[in-house]
Amino acid sequence: GKVQRSVKFHQQLEQLEVELKDQLKVNNELLGLLNNFKEKYSNNIKIFKNATHDLRHPDFSNVVIGVL
């Protein structure tokens, strides 16, 4: 009985390890996506800030075309 329980426990541990590794892989992929999104988003914010700053500038139409 004791040996069987020990074997079952080790099988459960191995299964848990597999699941955790899978979860880690998914988390890393999500983290990568999130970082890409943040980079793109921060660039958009910079462009927008520059554009709004240039609203008072005579060449504003060029800025809008550049953003689009």
- Is 39 exposed, middle or buried, given 0-12, 13-18 or 19+ CB atoms closer than 10 A? exposed
Average pLDDT over residues 20-35: 95
Q: What per-residue confidence (pLDDT) applies to 50?
A: 78
pLDDT band at 33 (very low <50, low <70, confident <90, very high): very high
Question: What φ, ψ does residue 56 adopt, rounded to 5°?
Answer: -80, -5
Would you list the domain boundaries of the chain?
Answer: 1-55
pLDDT band at 13 (very low <50, low <70, confident <90, very high): very high
Q: What per-residue confidence (pLDDT) applies to 17?
A: 97
d(CA 59, CA 28): 44
